[in-house]
Amino acid sequence: MSNPVFRFATVQGQGIHWFLKRNCSVTPVQLGWMYASLVLVSMVITAFFWSMGARLVLPFAFVELVAVALAFLAYARHATDGERISLQGARLVVELETAGRLSRAEFSRDRVRVEPAAGDHSLIEVSGHGRTMSVGRFVRPELRPELARELRMALRGA
């Protein structure tokens, strides 16, 4: 049998790795620079109107910048969320990173189950040894069954 072609996986040596990440167009560092430029522009405009006698511009500008900062922080906190699945020899390792917190589970290759959590387009449950982890958050729902088939095929060693 020929080697399978993996759509989601990267094959490196004897291991197969899946890196599923959120599609972020702006990194947290870029977001910081955007916010700094927004503060600069806002303060220049505020200073102009302050000098013209509009004293209430400053509190409103401050409230606006705090609201934007909170929104940017919420975005940046989840910008690096992702799922890493690695098959190395007899071990399947699943790592989930959400808001800087890492959850990790290791499964034995011959005792792990991969199946949909509820329906055909639901998250994929990887379970074994009394532990269950759901993966596929960053894959379009219609592609999750294909990811599950790919995981099963790799676990069988096909």
**Residues 32-91: tens digit of each pLDDT:** 999 999 999 999 999 999 999 999 999 999 999 999 999 999 888 888 899 999 998 899
Choice between 49 and 99, residue whose per-residue pLDDT is larger: 49
**Distance (Å, whole) CA 146 – CA 142:** 8
- The pLDDT value recorded for residue 158 is 54
pTM for the structure as a whole? 0.73
- The pLDDT value recorded for residue 1 is 36
- Topology, domain 9-23+82-156: PH-domain like (2.30.29)
Q: Where are the domains of the chain?
A: 9-23+82-156, 28-78
**Residues 131-150: tens digit of each pLDDT:** 999 999 999 999 999 999 99
- The pLDDT value recorded for residue 6 is 67
Q: pLDDT grade, residue 7 (50/70/90)?
A: confident
Q: How far apart are the first and last CA of the chain?
A: 8
